[in-house]
Amino acid sequence: MYCLDREQWQNYVGKFAVEHFLPVSSHPEQQTDYDNLVYACVSCNLTKAQGHVPDPTQVLLAGTVVVHDDGRMEARTKEAAKLIDKLLLNSEECRAFRRRWISIIRLAQEHSRELYRELMGYPADLPDLSRLRPPGGNSRPQGIEQSHGARRQRGELPEIY
Ligand SMILES: [Zn+2]
């Protein structure tokens, strides 16, 4: 969500987790609020910790940030710049990681459509949300039909994202 890392690029479980956008320590009432949950890599989650940052679902969008070939993220708004700065998204490590993956994806795109789909597609094991029972019940049962798993079952999920 923050650094542009993807599950499909990792080889171990636990690299990604559901993060509380507003920390539970200061907003315990929002611990299970769907709008307060962000899927993020552990590194971004640890960097953010208990801090308050701009909402990535609002400020890290195609029109507000550009990712250059050298891996650098360029903010087009003050809020995007603030988020990039606070989460160290332009650290040498983050830029090198993105630069490497941009090159790998370009090679896959040119030489292996199958590998390209694997790297840029959704995970094979998307959860079936209709089978899950969150604590306190599902406050948005209508969202199940819009989930990626349900869209894949209907053949409506794009091949890549
Ligand atoms: Zn991250």
Write down the domain spans for the chain: 7-120
User: 40 CA distance to ligand 1 centroid (A)?
Assistant: 6
- Reading the chain (161 residues) residue by residue, the pLDDT tens digits are 799 999 889 877 788 988 999 988 899 999 888 889 999 999 999 999 888 899 998 999 889 999 999 999 999 999 999 999 999 999 999 999 999 999 999 999 999 999 999 999 998 889 899 998 887 788 888 889 999 999 999 999 999 99
Cβ density class 133-150: b for 16+ within 10 Å, e for less:
eeeeeeeeeeeeeebbbb
Pairing of strands 37-41, 16-20: antiparallel
pTM: 0.84
User: 94 CA distance to ligand 1 centroid (A)?
Assistant: 9
3-state SS assignment for residue 94? helix
User: 123 CA distance to ligand 1 centroid (A)?
Assistant: 17
Looking up tokens 């029972």, which residue turns up?
133
Note whether 54 and 79 are within 8 A (CB).
yes
Candidates 45, 79, 38; CA nearest to 59 is 79
Instruction: Give the CA distances from residue 126 to residues 7, 17, 100, 123, 132, in Å, rounded to whole numbers and listed in that order.
Output: 11, 14, 26, 6, 12
User: 78 CA distance to ligand 1 centroid (A)?
Assistant: 20
Residue 89 confidence (pLDDT):
97
